[in-house]
């Protein structure tokens, strides 16, 4: 293959977590591909070419994978949200299980069971839509970024993973601002008004929270918009409507100025027999049904009675409150101030007097924790645990760690640190928390090794070999 060749036709041989395709060039060099499915013949655009490896992204699927069937979603070719929309539920679970077993190979020698937490249809309780145009100079649209085309917005009129109320609201808001002729915010030149529209919907109460995000470069008749959106035909009910002013240059929602336009400040969701309040910027699991399955697994794995449990990266306090009946005290640490305030309010509503929430960075706040922890729950962000914080956390020397990870790669990378300090994996499993997407949730129970304790998972002692892979 000539070095300057920029387009290749290759067959994807396997797909590693997280949805990274692998193929081989004619000269034997391995090819890393963003996305794809095993068995697909694809037209590949080379993005980086070296002597040892080639990287590329898919321009076109020339032949489908033998694993694929008909997709119920008309947006599958353009939307990058659902990588596995064309697979059956069984094929998706099988593919993800193989990815996990390869990822953890070298750390543990065991099959990692995987199960589905919910239906793959209509499960998302939050969507963050972006204003833009589908093609340059086209009419205003509201939707998701097109796959591989950051500045083109796809109106997801028939999205399969959200409730129909999301589709009605998305279309209604798009129609409203098309008629008003208000320009969207162009990120390249930092000019325009409309930026995002966020929807959150409670599964159990059917309450809906909406947040219109704009720049300060133009006026919005918020009273007229409120009257319009409240009349849309929904199964649920809008009980909270916000307007956020965001002039930051990045494509993230920064609440520089926030105003409640209508209703209450938050919506309520019920989970595992408890009530939780969700505000416009609260962290809450995106799949309510699957989150309930996940937390039940956590509770079952930690069954017993505890003196004190630390819940690090506690978010809105969901896990801490679910585990509260099992312990004399549960202490949570979370860096997001709104999440901590929400956790405190919810704990009070749920009449839980043995939970405490601390606002701060885990790296610093763990030094201030008092007393012994019988168990520590870890549910860190996708990037995992800061290495310095990890050392401090392990130094508490609890009998048990429960590690819940939304990024199995981070978990796999950190497990050797626990193993070196005498912990062994007593149980590990995966949950398909977000069906049709590349994401997988993993739950691992680690116990301090005693000489008379039965260990039911064989651990590969050559952990340093794996650790050197620098995942």
3-state secondary structure of 461: coil
Start-to-end C-alpha separation, the chain? 29
Q: Which residue has the tokens 């997709």?
A: 71
Token couple for 359: 């606002």
- Tell how far CA 132 is from the center of its chain: 24
What is the DSSP code string of 243-299? EEE---SSSS---SEEEEEEE-S-EEEEETTEEEEE-TT----SBHHHHHHHHHHHH
> What backbone torsions phi and psi does residue 244 show, to the nearest 5 degrees?
-115, 130
Question: Can you tell me the distance from the alpha carbon of 195 to that of 270, in angstroms, rounded to the nearest whole number?
Answer: 31
Residues assigned a catalytic role:
406
Q: Report how far apart, in Å, the C-alpha atoms of 439 and of each of 63, 406, 436 are.
A: 25, 7, 8
Positive or negative, the CA dihedral 340, 255, 265, 194 is: negative
Q: Yes or no: say if 55 and 30 are a contact pair by the CB < 8 Å rule.
A: no
Q: Which residue has the tokens 């193929």?
A: 23
Positive or negative, the CA dihedral 313, 316, 318, 320 is: positive
What are the residues whose beta carbons fall under 8 Å from the beta carbon of 467, sequence distance 6 or more? 413, 416
Q: Helix 408-420 crosses helix 387-394 at what angle (to 10 degrees)?
A: 50
Run of H or E including 352: none
Token couple for 15: 């797909």
CA atoms within 13 Å, Cβ hemisphere of 464: 1
Question: Can you tell me the distance from the alpha carbon of 429 to that of 115, in angstroms, rounded to the nearest whole number?
Answer: 8
Question: Can you tell me the distance from the alpha carbon of 106 to that of 24, in angstroms, rounded to the nearest whole number?
Answer: 24
What are the residues whose beta carbons fall under 8 Å from the beta carbon of 428, sequence distance 6 or more? 104, 108, 110, 112, 442, 443, 444, 445, 457
């Amino acid at each position: 293959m000539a070095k300057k060749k920029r387009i290749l036709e290759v067959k994807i041989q396997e797909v590693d977590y997280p949805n990274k395709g692998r193929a081989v060039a004619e000269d034997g060099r391995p090819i890393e591909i963003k996305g794809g499915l095993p068995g697909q013949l694809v037209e590949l655009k080379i993005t980086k070419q070296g002597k040892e490896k080639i990287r590329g992204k898919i321009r076109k699927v020339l032949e489908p994978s033998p694993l694929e069937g008909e997709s119920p979603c008309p947006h599958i070719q353009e939307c990058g949200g659902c990588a596995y929309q064309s697979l059956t539920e069984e094929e998706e679970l099988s593919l993800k299980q193989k990815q996990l077993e390869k990822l953890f190979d070298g750390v543990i020698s065991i099959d990692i069971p995987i199960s589905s937490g919910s239906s793959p249809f209509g499960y998302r309780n939050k969507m963050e839509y972006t204003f833009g145009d589908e093609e340059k100079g086209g009419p205003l649209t509201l939707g998701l970024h097109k796959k591989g085309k950051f500045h083109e917005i796809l109106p997801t009129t028939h999205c399969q993973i959200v409730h129909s109320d999301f589709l009605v609201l998305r279309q209604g808001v798009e129609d409203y601002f098309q008629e008003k002729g208000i320009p969207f915010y162009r990120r390249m030149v930092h000019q325009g008004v409309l930026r995002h529209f966020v929807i959150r919907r409670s599964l159990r109460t059917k309450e809906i929270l909406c947040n219109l995000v704009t720049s300060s470069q133009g006026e919005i008749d918020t009273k007229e918009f409120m009257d319009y959106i409240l009349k849309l035909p929904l199964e649920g009910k809008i009980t909270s409507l916000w307007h956020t002013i965001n002039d930051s240059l990045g494509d993230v929602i920064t609440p520089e100025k926030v105003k409640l336009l209508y209703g209450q400040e938050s919506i309520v969701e019920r989970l595992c027999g408890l009530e939780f309040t969700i505000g416009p910027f609260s962290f809450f699991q995106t799949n309510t049904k699957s989150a309930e399955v996940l937390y039940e697994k956590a509770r079952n794995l930690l069954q017993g009675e505890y003196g004190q449990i630390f819940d690090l990266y506690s978010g809105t306090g969901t896990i801490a409150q679910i585990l509260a009946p099992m312990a004399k005290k549960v202490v949570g640490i979370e860096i997001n101030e709104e999440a901590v305030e929400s956790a405190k309010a919810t704990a009070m509503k749920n009449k839980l007097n043995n939970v405490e929430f601390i606002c701060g960075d885990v790296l610093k706040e763990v030094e201030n924790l008092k007393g012994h922890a019988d168990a520590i729950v870890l549910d860190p962000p996708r990037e995992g645990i800061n290495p310095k914080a990890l050392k401090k956390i392990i130094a508490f020397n609890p009998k048990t760690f429960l590690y819940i990870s939304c990024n199995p790669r981070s978990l796999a990378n950190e497990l050797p640190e626990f193993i070196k300090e005498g912990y062994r994996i007593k149980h590990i499993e995966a949950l398909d928390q977000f069906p049709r997407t590349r994401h997988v949730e993993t739950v691992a129970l680690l116990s301090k090794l005693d000489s008379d304790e039965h260990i039911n998972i064989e651990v590969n002692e050559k952990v340093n070999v794996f650790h050197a892979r620098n995942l």
